[in-house]
């Protein structure tokens, strides 16, 4: 254990591990522990600072998560973020109320004056907010350091300078000076030097995987995207030809995805097994409109497809008892696989695997965010076009078709998506934008057909910037590009008669529509 340790007390925020990631990037060792941990437990770890995370609860709810009250007597610096700040305010005699409509997305931080925590910040800095409740009344010995467009207490400090509270999230990419604030807190307020180095090198990761797999044969769910390709390249380094990659053609893929996966596999020298499972997936989705039901149906269809592939391979090659998946950390946390976090959506590849499946699941990237996976992919020597490819969700086009998913609607969306991708590439924005795609909306809209009236399909365009997918902002596509996409969609695809542009951030929206 490093002597310079910071503990993060987790109230269940989606962003808790992002706090940990940022602290580690600032070369300070940290650990995430449950917010309810006792003070004796904290003392044993001798932290030099405590960070209280955000969380989905409201402090005035009966079962709202609390802290051991003795924590306030520890006399070590505390940085309380979002719910953490509200917890401190309520515990120290202030008042927290439900805000009018909440504050989600970009806001401006207006500093009341200089403070060591805000060294290097301007008077008006963009910050990212995501809260419904707000502090109405400060505890007596606290003062406000900054206001935002929405709240008077966007940053607060106790009189003795030991406790700071931030209503905004310094850990997300949309708070551009967030890392500076965290660095100020670690260096100036906690007095830490920051000499810690991340331990796990590529070779150590490969070694750990080699020991875990112990020469056993393993299937890998391979899609050709950066996550599963990095997982495959890593596992191949651990067990070589014992790795058997399986590509499931769900019928929910984009134009060119299957060919791309075949090419990537060939490049890695992997013999890809392709499972034709289109009918299985469409049958599983028939009649479903609810987003969670659709996600679950796709998840189950994947499992069944892998079972069938495993069975066939076993007859040729002997027993297989492992399935390697390229699940990454945001998949885990948004599916509430991390303790305390609330479920945002069930990811196709997380949790709920039926016991009878009989395959042990190995997820070598489970602790990494997307940007860390890309770093790993680079160190594995994967080519840039794979490393920087935009993410594509496992349930594929099924979560981009609102309402029922039919082969006809998938075919239409596939064409629309291909046009959008072509135009983004033509505008040379394909490496700039984190993710861009088309969505098919439910219902129809009035259209002019010849001289008469008709009804056509509505397509929404989504383009977002992000660092790791946990938060995102809508990307301002140039009008010229939007105009080209819109006219190509309506001219080349008869059924499409209306095109709209999604201008919501995450939060409050998510990147995908379902
Ligand atoms: P959301 O829509 O939750 O997405 O803001 C965050 C990122 O995750 C991708 N995503 C998924 N990836 N399985 C995946 O492998 C899934 O079920 C899934 N759902 C969303 C999404 O495309 C974005 O990059």
Give pLDDT tens digits for 112-128: 999 999 999 998 999 99
CATH number, position 473? 3.30.300.10
| Distance (Å, whole) CA 375 – CA 488 | 36
Backbone angles phi, psi at 328, to 5 degrees: -115, 175
**Which string of b and e fits 137-164 if b means at least 16 CB within 10 Å?**
ebbeebebbbbbebbebbbbbbeeeebb
Helix H or strand E segment including 221: strand 218-221
Residues 172 and 235 in one domain: no
Domain annotation covers residue 46: yes
Cβ 170 vs Cβ 81: under 8 Å? yes
Residues 241 and 379 in one domain: yes
Residues 169 and 283 in one domain: no
pTM of the model: 0.82
| Distance (Å, whole) CA 484 – CA 487 | 5
Give the pLDDT confidence score for residue 352 in this predicted structure: 47
Residues 365 and 219 in one domain: yes
Please tell me if the CB atom of residue 334 comes closer than 6 angstroms to any atom of ligand 1.
yes
Cβ 386 vs Cβ 377: under 8 Å? yes
Domain annotation covers residue 13: yes
Give me the number of domains the chain comprises: 3
- In tens, the pLDDT along 329-387 reads 877 766 655 555 677 677 766 654 544 567 888 999 988 888 889 999 999 999 999 99
Domain annotation covers residue 399: no
- In tens, the pLDDT along 134-191 reads 999 999 999 999 999 889 999 999 999 999 999 999 999 999 999 999 999 999 999 9
| Mean pLDDT calculated for residue range 286-312 | 93
Encoded tokens for 225: 């995207």
pLDDT band at residue 238 under the 50/70/90 scheme: very high
Residues 358 and 494 in one domain: no
Please choose, from the candidates 190, 174, 196, the residue with its C-alpha nearest in 3D space to the C-alpha of residue 24. Answer: 196
Residues 153 and 217 in one domain: no
Residues 422 and 350 in one domain: no
Domain annotation covers residue 489: yes
Residues 173 and 208 in one domain: no
To the query of whether residue 190 is one of the catalytic residues in this protein, the response is: no
To the query of whether residue 169 is one of the catalytic residues in this protein, the response is: yes
Domain final residue pick, 137, 162, 189:
189
Residues 303 and 253 in one domain: yes
Residues 310 and 446 in one domain: no
Domain final residue pick, 360, 387, 414:
387
Give the pLDDT confidence score for residue 354 in this predicted structure: 46
Q: Residue 465 is part of which domain span?
A: 406-501
Cβ contacts of residue 327 below 8 Å, gap of 6+?
227, 347, 349, 350, 363, 365, 366
Domain final residue pick, 387, 418, 450:
387
Q: Angle of helix 257-268 relative to helix 226-239, nearest 10 degrees?
A: 20
Please tell me if the CB atom of residue 502 comes closer than 6 angstroms to any atom of ligand 1.
no
Q: Which of 14, 223, 292, 331 to mutate to test the pocket of ligand 1 (most atoms within 8 A of CB)?
A: 331
- In tens, the pLDDT along 174-188 reads 999 999 999 999 999
- In tens, the pLDDT along 240-297 reads 999 999 999 999 999 999 999 999 999 999 999 999 999 999 999 999 999 999 999 9
CA of 360 to the centre of ligand 1 (A): 24
Domain annotation covers residue 394: no
Q: Strand 78-81 relative to strand 95-111: parallel, antiparallel, unpaired? A: unpaired
CATH number, position 117? 3.40.50.880
Give the pLDDT confidence score for residue 1 in this predicted structure: 47
Atom of ligand 1 nearest to the CA of 295: 17
Please choose, from the candidates 303, 248, 304, 257, the residue with its C-alpha nearest in 3D space to the C-alpha of residue 278. Answer: 248
Please tell me if the CB atom of residue 389 comes closer than 6 angstroms to any atom of ligand 1.
no
- In tens, the pLDDT along 3-56 reads 789 999 999 998 998 999 899 889 998 888 999 999 998 998 899 999 999 999
Please tell me if the CB atom of residue 469 comes closer than 6 angstroms to any atom of ligand 1.
yes
Domain annotation covers residue 508: no
To the query of whether residue 25 is one of the catalytic residues in this protein, the response is: no
Residues 279 and 310 in one domain: yes
Average predicted confidence (pLDDT) for the chain = 92
| Distance (Å, whole) CA 207 – CA 234 | 10
Residues 359 and 326 in one domain: yes
Evaluate if residue 507 carries a pLDDT over 90.
Answer: no
């Amino acid at each position: 254990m490093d002597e310079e340790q910071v503990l993060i007390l987790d109230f269940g925020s989606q962003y808790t591990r992002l706090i940990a990631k940022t602290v580690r990037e600032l070369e300070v060792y940290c650990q995430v522990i449950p917010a309810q941990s006792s003070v004796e437990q904290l003392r044993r770890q001798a932290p030099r600072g405590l960070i209280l995370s955000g969380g989905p609860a409201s402090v005035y709810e009966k079962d709202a998560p609390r802290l051991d009250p003795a924590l306030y007597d520890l006399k070590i610096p505390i940085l309380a973020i979002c719910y953490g700040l509200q917890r401190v305010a309520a515990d120290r005699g202030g008042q927290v109320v439900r805000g009018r409509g909440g504050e989600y997305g970009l806001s401006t931080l207006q500093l009341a004056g200089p403070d060591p925590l805000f060294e290097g910040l301007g008077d008006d800095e963009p910050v990212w907010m995501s809260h419904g409740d707000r502090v109405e009344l400060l505890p007596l010995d606290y003062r406000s350091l900054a206001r935002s467009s929405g709240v008077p207490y966007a940053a607060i400090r106790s009189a003795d300078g030991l406790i700071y509270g931030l209503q905004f999230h310094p850990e997300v990419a949309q708070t551009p000076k967030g890392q500076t604030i965290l660095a100020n807190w670690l260096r100036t307020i906690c007095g830490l030097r920051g000499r810690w180095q991340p331990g796990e090198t590529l070779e150590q990761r490969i070694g750990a995987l080699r020991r875990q797999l112990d020469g056993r044969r393993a299937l890998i769910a391979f899609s050709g995207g950066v996550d599963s390709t990095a997982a495959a390249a890593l596992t191949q380094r651990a067990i070589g030809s014992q790795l058997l990659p399986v590509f499931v053609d769900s019928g929910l893929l984009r134009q060119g995805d299957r060919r791309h996966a075949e090419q990537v596999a060939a490049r890695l020298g992997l013999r890809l097994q392709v499972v034709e499972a289109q009918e299985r997936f469409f049958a599983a989705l028939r009649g479903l409109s609810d987003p969670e039901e659709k996600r679950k149906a796709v998840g189950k269809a994947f499992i069944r497809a892998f079972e069938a592939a495993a069975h066939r391979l076993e007859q040729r090659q002997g027993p297989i008892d492992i399935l390697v998946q390229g699940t990454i950390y945001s998949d885990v946390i948004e599916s509430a696989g991390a303790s305390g976090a609330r479920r945002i959506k069930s990811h196709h590849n997380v949790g709920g695997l039926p016991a009878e499946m009989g395959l042990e699941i190995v997820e070598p990237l489970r602790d990494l965010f997307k940007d860390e996976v890309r770093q790993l992919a680079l160190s594995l020597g994967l080519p840039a076009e794979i490393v920087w490819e935009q993410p594509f969700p496992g349930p594929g086009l099924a979560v981009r078709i609102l309402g029922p998913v039919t082969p006809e609607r998938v075919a239409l969306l596939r064409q629309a998506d291909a046009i959008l991708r072509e135009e983004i590439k033509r505008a040379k924005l394909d490496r700039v934008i984190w993710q861009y795609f088309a969505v098919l909306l439910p219902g129809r809209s009035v259209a002019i057909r010849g001289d008469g009236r008709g009804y056509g399909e509505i397509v929404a365009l989504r383009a977002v910037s992000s660092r790791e997918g946990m938060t995102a902002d809508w990307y301002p596509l140039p009008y010229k590009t939007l105009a080209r996409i819109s006219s190509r969609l309506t001219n080349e695809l008869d059924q499409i008669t209306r095109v709209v542009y999604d201008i919501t951030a995450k939060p409050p929206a998510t990147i995908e529509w379902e």
